[in-house]
Structure 1
């Protein structure tokens, strides 16, 4: 009787036959790749650090820049090429730092400019590049410019930096249009008339005046990007951080800075992740999987994706080109179809744009094949890499999202009273999805903690929540706090080793003990070691600058996504039955246990919700 073993990584028992015949036939190339990536950002693996939740250096319960510096060896050991730091600028923290009061300083919550300089130097010493977040669509209402705008009269140069308008109705009592905030509620707030304005409260004797636009929270007034003074200011902000040595900028709401002329009413709605549920089924007949890869992830309406944004990025591209080192611009643009998104990464504009269509595609083979091919096709048209992503600080972690009964759902947070994800299934699928993503040509982004397999915190008490989306929707949406929980570093320490005091700004679930970094490091088959192996193999096999062709045997499969990238076959089994591989197949990396017999000519079976990288011969 042939013995079947379940092994964590498959490499121990799936030994290749030295001269095995080619077991996989591939079709025409979908993507040829650059061969060797001429710029670092074309094939980089970039790790998002959300500073308040990564590591706490001073014990106040909030992560900070010294805390990040103390964990750079973790990132170097993991094998990432760069880090992206979410905002650490001076801010009232009404939206976790995305409400910036001073773009040229560090908020004391996170440290000092000297702390940033040290972090940058230490990262560069380890070969890790640093991208910082830039928030140009809006400022904080505490920014000096907005305070000056309130102090100045209507029609002043100070107010012209923001989107102030007269109201509609007989006495201007109605907002200038019907736009709604992405966080819920109206996108306009009225202030009192004349200099020294303040938000209208309805107090006796108060004289209402103009309205100002805020696509997000009322404490985040939108800038008027038609104003040359605004454009000049942000070019100087770019130069400030470039002079310090940063390697690039992730641009928040990159598709939102220019609004349609006249600010027309719109009969639609906007949301953080807008659209219908991603669907499964056949890619040619299922309306949820059109050939352009659309999943309903795009923000539409007259406040988004206006052609005028591209002038801004052409100007910024010229600024970055003055500096050596291939500095990069990364667009956070929720734009569909993918051909529209590709306009942001034309040769004289930005360098990367997050592929949210991929992030929001259902865990189903046909739609995944469609979005992968459509993404590569659209970006190849403009000579840009595709930038893959599965999680970030704005969406439910994919280890939980993929564990939902319908893995195509995209909730804005999960409450304790909601249907709960299957934690085991979600992690298994998340590891498989990540290995599929990392096997694709282009650049990939990882969100802090996904290398540990962290799930969403779905049982946060309402009284600890901080996301403005929760408050502006009167609690209808859980919001994003659940994906922003402080990282567990040590299973047996208070606060799981997040900082020296054991305090954490959001509570961690008890389950995080089994995900802590120290109980995974060096453990074969752990999520952390699987990521490490994948990143090392990806670099050794040059997959980021590689090619893509579909494996013909699975090209129409409802259960399998199989592609060839250079000399590696990436095979993801999304079905319910194991996939039997040809004898002699060499497994390089597996997202989970595979079944391997002990015969002289071993045969590998890939279980459900598992991805493997194989040596193509």
Structure 2
């Protein structure tokens, strides 16, 4: 039956492929190591191209691979139009694009426009040129306060802790919203705007299909003096006029980028990482005149709870319809605790996205977490997500059911959030960035020939690709089959909720008759006659087990 249904699956318009795509995020330094130095690289991605094709994804999103001192996992970019020599060359990048395109996989790359590395040639020129120079105008330099300028221009804090200002040798201060090694660009400067247009064309000309825009809401700023205090900033509304975040004038930049995207056939696409205050504000980033799509992170802060999921799904589908875009569904990424772990920890109940922080900082005591429940819920949530209209963004390793790694020694950690704290509470993001296990044996579970740059726990052996590929009931097998069948579900971008008689069971039907049912509860749910048409997911004597999801084919198929 499924083979017949697959023959009826959608044909994707090359210009709108992203609307319902399954996109797989690769954190390149932790994906696959081809040269045996312990660090993942671009040739490593090429070596796993067949794996990606077998997984059934539509696109890869490649986290930063540019030359970088790794002050922030590659998000401190020293050269926007090159490859970090530890990760390969531009020729390797071209081979990767060709290998993925040959397999029908498109490529999205990360663009980091709010800040550069302090090793970027422009910033080095700014330091050498001195105060009042044209070179410094590309960044945000200010005189300090106090009798001799020894105090920062304001009391603003950086995301990774400490002051948002750093003093240089001649006494001026520069703004860095994140790490000190990440000076903010001045987006009022024409050089900055023109150089990023060159960068977009550079990668588009090499075959890149789209761009993920890091902190897309932070580029433009109003630093008219006197600068507001930190307390004053926190009290200002985010209505398009906030001095530092989600300003209306940022969309002038993205309208210019859209004109560049539209120079290509098919047009390049963009997706904004935009942490903004309202759905209406986010919709502006997703407009056809702007980037086209914006991340919906709502499920990252939701418990495994039917009411929360239904509200988030309904709200985001309505927002997408209003903006003309399609929504994005995300359960894990490189910045948050893996959802197989998250769902095994106590409920968030409205706490921030940094769930699990107490568990991780304590070294992961086992009595705080139910790993089996976490994985069971993760599989159920993933099947629900993949059944929804819109695009799905998957993070490397989640298809294996990988858990967060909590017990990384301090001397092996890399994330500035661990050392500096700030809004990440000092627990860091290394636990979700540990290199993948490809084989149950080997010096780094098949990641490479040397020890991996972040330590892999012994438990990774049971999650290895070679183990799970041989098991039809594994999480990897579930993802492969779900992504294969998803091409049938993803027709019209709509759904209709159907009542189940239980508050802890959600059910919806897609326009082509496919039904998705998720049991968030602890008691089985009777599926009745539908049980005979289940094509994916568990069933027990005609009932849907607790904390699980099934896909049901249309009647008469």
Provide TM-score, normalisation by structure 1: 0.82
Greater RCO between the two (CA within 8 Å, min separation 6)?
A: 1
Structure 1 position 65, deviation (Å)? 0.4
Residue 359 of structure 1: aligned partner = 300
* CA RMSD of superposed structures (Å): 2.2
Residues 1:553 and 1:300: Cα distance change in structure 2 (over 3 Å)? farther
Residue 514 of structure 1: aligned partner = 462
Corresponding position: 1:472 with 2:405: no
Residue 82 of structure 1: aligned partner = 59
Matches within 5 A, 1:242-281: 242-262=204-224, 263-267=227-231
Residues 1:432 and 1:260: Cα distance change in structure 2 (over 3 Å)? farther
Corresponding position: 1:349 with 2:290: yes
Answer yes or no: is the 8 Å Cα contact 1:268–1:301 preserved in 2: no
Structure 1 position 517, deviation (Å)? 0.5
Structure 1 position 358, deviation (Å)? 2.6
**Deviations 1:448-507, CA, capped at 9 Å, x for gaps:** 0101110100111111101001111299522000000000000122211001x2320001
Residue 594 of structure 1: aligned partner = 539
Within the candidate set 181, 196, 212, 1:234 is matched to: 196
**Deviations 1:7-65, CA, capped at 9 Å, x for gaps:** xxxx9xxxxxxxxxxxxxxxxxxxxxx99766101111000000000000000000000
Structure holding more strand per residue: 1
Matches within 5 A, 1:136-535: 136-193=113-170, 209-262=171-224, 263-267=227-231, 302-408=243-349, 409=351, 410-411=353-354, 414-417=360-363, 420-473=368-421, 477-499=426-448, 501-535=449-483
Q: Alignment partner of 1:523: what SS?
A: coil
Within the candidate set 62, 82, 89, 2:39 is matched to: 62
Q: Distance in 1 between matches of 2:507 and 2:233?
A: 37
Structure 1 position 260, deviation (Å)? 3.6
Q: Distance in 1 between matches of 2:249 and 2:229?
A: 19
Q: Distance in 2 between matches of 1:609 and 1:301?
A: 43
Residues 1:584 and 1:607: Cα distance change in structure 2 (over 3 Å)? closer
Residue 6 of structure 2: aligned partner = none
Answer yes or no: is the 8 Å Cα contact 1:77–1:532 preserved in 2: yes
Q: Distance in 2 between matches of 1:177 and 1:525?
A: 56
Answer yes or no: is the 8 Å Cα contact 1:533–1:589 preserved in 2: no
Deviates more, 1:60-69 or 1:571-580: 571-580
Structure holding more helix per residue: 2
Query: Which protein shows a greater Rg?
Result: 1
**Deviations 1:559-581, CA, capped at 9 Å, x for gaps:** 12221112111111111111111
Gaps of 5+ in 1: 1-10, 12-33, 194-208, 271-297, 597-603
Matches within 5 A, 1:537-616: 537-543=485-491, 545-554=492-501, 557-566=502-511, 567-591=513-537, 593-596=538-541, 604-616=542-554
Q: Distance in 2 between matches of 1:542 and 1:322?
A: 28
Answer yes or no: is the 8 Å Cα contact 2:330–2:394 preserved in 1: yes
**Deviations 1:353-382, CA, capped at 9 Å, x for gaps:** 111123222221112111111111111111
Residues 1:504 and 1:125: Cα distance change in structure 2 (over 3 Å)? same
Q: Distance in 2 between matches of 1:39 and 1:341?
A: 20
Gaps of 5+ in 2: 3-9
Answer yes or no: is the 8 Å Cα contact 1:549–1:564 preserved in 2: yes
Structure 1 position 558, deviation (Å)? 3.0
Structure 1 position 418, deviation (Å)? 5.1
